[in-house]
Amino acid sequence: MNARQPFNPLQAQLVAEAFNATGVDYLFIGKSGAILLGYPGTTQDVDVFPAKSVENGRRIVEALLKLEFTLNENTQGEIIRGKDFVQLKDGPFDLDLIFAPDGIESFAQAKARAVREDIFPVANLSDIIASKKASGRMKDRLDLHLLELFRVEYESRMS
């Protein structure tokens, strides 16, 4: 297993290029999504919210294999059927596939609110924050205040 390295936007670029080339329907979410929008934080992995369908799952597997992730048969099955949370640590970087993020009602609704930063489809900051609030994890609660402050700054820049 690789030593954990902090999130690098190049990792998101690799994911975006591979997912876009294979037609994956997805959004960047979590702190990595916020960082792509300009949030000045760090994280240890890339978080992706993919649409849940067998065909999308097959496309994800195809893209991840091209990125040289090691996916055994069980993991491939979890991705294809859209298991709520699939954590991948056997690849060039850590990647979390979150098919059912806490606090977000549906992929379709999140996609309708999403923003596009260059090649990156990113969940709306409100959805990223709602997901962190709903998770109940201590590390997510610690980020909330700074994410809320960033949202105010980001929204004022966008208007």
- CA 92 – CA 70 distance, rounded (Å): 9
DSSP state string for 82-125: T-SEEEE-SSSS-EEEESS-TT---HHHHHHH-EEETTEEE--H
> Are 38 and 122 within 8 A, CB to CB?
no
Chain segment 32-78, per-residue pLDDT in tens: 999 999 999 888 899 999 999 999 999 999 999 999 999 999 999 99
Domain segments of the chain as ranges: 9-151
Half-sphere exposure of 26 (CA within 13 A, CB side): 34
- CA 45 – CA 87 distance, rounded (Å): 10
- pLDDT-derived band at 106 (thresholds 50, 70, 90) equals very high
> Which token pair is 96?
């979390």
Mean pLDDT of the chain: 94
Q: What would be the CATH architecture of the domain defined by 9-151?
A: 2-Layer Sandwich (3.30)
Q: Is the pLDDT of residue 2 over 50?
A: no
- CA 76 – CA 71 distance, rounded (Å): 6
**Predicted local confidence at residue 111, as pLDDT:** 98
Chain segment 119-159, per-residue pLDDT in tens: 999 999 999 999 999 998 888 888 899 999 999 999 998 88
Half-sphere exposure of 121 (CA within 13 A, CB side): 19
